[in-house]
Amino acid sequence: MMEKVKTTVLAFLVGLSLLQTLVLSYSNPNYDPIPQNDYVKTEPLGSTVETKDLLFPDQIVLHLGNQAHTVLYPNIAKYYSIGNKIKGRTFEDVRRISQGITASGLEDARTKQPGIELRFSQGISLNILQKMFQFKGDMPQENTLIGTILIYLKEDKQTVKTLLFPPDSTTPLYEVNRSDFSAKDFSADDRDSFIAYQEESMPYHLSTSGDFYLPDKEITLSKKEYQMVQFTAEQLKSTLFVDPIITRNLTERDGSQIYTDGKKGLQITSDQRWMIYSDPVAPVEAKNDAYENLQAGVRFINQHGGWNGRYKLVKPSSYPSYSDQTFEFAIMLDGVPIFAKESESVGIIRITVQKGIISNYERSMINTDMTQPKREEAVTLQGGQDLEERIRSHPKKPGLSIVNVFVAYQAEYSENGFTMMPVWMVQWKDGSIEPLK
């Protein structure tokens, strides 16, 4: 009797199971979606830019002939006017220099002949340089770093020559076979020429301490004070996670906060000044295209944090050279860079891209509008022989030479804000940078 009951119950359960299977197979699922109002809508946290807006020389040096020079920075109209004119010209067939150019010949080209120098203090890769200017025809296969482009009128007053130099070198590596520059571009009598822009500009000279240009007189900049404005954790969560509601929060021993949805992670340092976002991706065996990755990185930043000022592509601080996957951007103030004693400076953005996929994104959490200081004060920086003497007196580094001396802002933080102080900075051959003593 008991066995019959067990058999009947078992048959019933099997039949019920089959019925449930049929119901699940042929019925529409009844989803219980999260209400749309529960999602945090992403709002722009900064402005957007195009990749080309992040690529420009640190300086445009104009050679006027007769050892007269002036330097333009990317904060004045003349810089952009001349830069745009150069972008409209073509450089055709870049080749390695087969016959050496003498040091005296180069010195004459820069001191006696009219011309232009585009200077990239950290260098810029040749394949990205091709996206900035109109290079045509044959190009070198190697992706060399270029530090300077020198365009000058030769002694015959008819021929224009273009040379490309590696960073921190006075020996040219490449020359341009043909270009559409003409003698008219360097005529002081032609109001549309490059060197006609110099009538009211500060005179500069080639330093006796290295291959860089210094003002003949004192220059005046502004000390600027800012109120501290930062991204909040909620803002970053809403822009970096598809559904911020499901993120979990962890606190590390050092006080840093970690937010994760199980795959992606966001870390905010204990001082609330630096964030690191990671989205692990599988290793990619295919070759990375540096410019395509750069464009993908810029698009991602546009959508997830944006830009709070004028930024420039720079060499990643932890890399000996540029990378085709990791890109770093630094904010510019009044056309010059910013440095800080702290490792995570205001206005630094770093991103890693593999075949167009973002795997790591770091940035300063300071989001102050750099165009709106709360207080300004004029500061005078030395020039001329006083500056030259100060450079000669600067403490030396064994085995290293000074490759650049330039104006920058040094950031000094306080509890509720920060100050930007204009200073002279020294760059050594190994890439290290420090304030001029």
CB-based contacts of 329, cutoff 8 Å, min separation 6: 54, 301, 311, 312, 313, 314, 348, 349, 350
pLDDT of residue 2: 58
Of the candidate ranges 158-162, 182-186, 245-249, 256-260, the one whose mean pLDDT is the lowest: 245-249
| Residue 189, in any domain of the structure | yes
Q: DSSP state, 37? A: G
pLDDT at 102 over 80: no
pLDDT of residue 273: 85
CB-based contacts of 209, cutoff 8 Å, min separation 6: 388, 391, 392, 402, 405
* 351 shares a domain with 431: no
* 313 shares a domain with 406: no
Q: What percent of the chain clears pLDDT 70, i.e. is strictly above it?
A: 85
* 419 shares a domain with 354: no
Joined tokens for residue 435: 């304030």
Dihedral sign (CA 237, 243, 244, 248) = negative
pTM: 0.83
- For 245-272, how does the pLDDT look when each residue is reduced to its tens digit (9 = 90+)? 888 888 888 888 999 988 889 999 888 8
* 184 shares a domain with 62: yes
Range of the domain at 427: 372-435
- For 385-437, how does the pLDDT look when each residue is reduced to its tens digit (9 = 90+)? 999 999 999 999 988 999 999 999 999 888 788 999 999 999 998 888 899 98
Of 343, 364, 385, which residue sits at a domain end? 364
* 139 shares a domain with 76: yes
* 181 shares a domain with 62: yes
If one counts the domains in the chain, the total is 3
* 403 shares a domain with 288: no
CA distances from 220 to 32, 166, 368, 377, 407 (A): 65, 31, 24, 10, 11
* 389 shares a domain with 259: no
More confident residue, 32 or 409: 409
Q: What is the mean pLDDT of the chain?
A: 85
* 349 shares a domain with 236: yes
* 132 shares a domain with 158: yes
CA distances from 138 to 97, 132, 175, 177, 182 (A): 14, 17, 12, 10, 21
* 388 shares a domain with 409: yes
Of 345, 364, 383, which residue sits at a domain end? 364
- Show the CA angle centred on residue 377, arms to residues 373 and 383, nearest 5°: 120
Computed on alpha carbons and rounded to an integer, the radius of gyration of the chain in Å comes to 29
pLDDT of residue 188: 76
pLDDT of residue 28: 44
* 422 shares a domain with 300: no
Beta-carbon count within 10 A of 372 CB: 10
| Residue 35, in any domain of the structure | no
CA distances from 277 to 307, 378, 408 (A): 17, 39, 29
Residues in the chain: 437
Q: Which of 23, 49, 17, 37 is nearest to 310 (CA)?
A: 49
* Band of residue 242 on the pLDDT scale cut at 50, 70, 90: confident
pLDDT at 98 over 60: yes
| Residue 2, in any domain of the structure | no
Query: Contact, 163 vs 101, CB < 8 A?
Result: yes
Joined tokens for residue 73: 């920075």
- For 270-309, how does the pLDDT look when each residue is reduced to its tens digit (9 = 90+)? 888 899 999 987 566 667 788 999 999 999 999 999 998 8
| Residue 37, in any domain of the structure | no
| Residue 223, in any domain of the structure | no
pLDDT of residue 272: 80
Of 364, 382, 411, which residue sits at a domain end? 364
Q: What is the dihedral of CA 147, 149, 155, 157, to 10 degrees?
A: -170
- For 146-155, how does the pLDDT look when each residue is reduced to its tens digit (9 = 90+)? 999 999 998 8
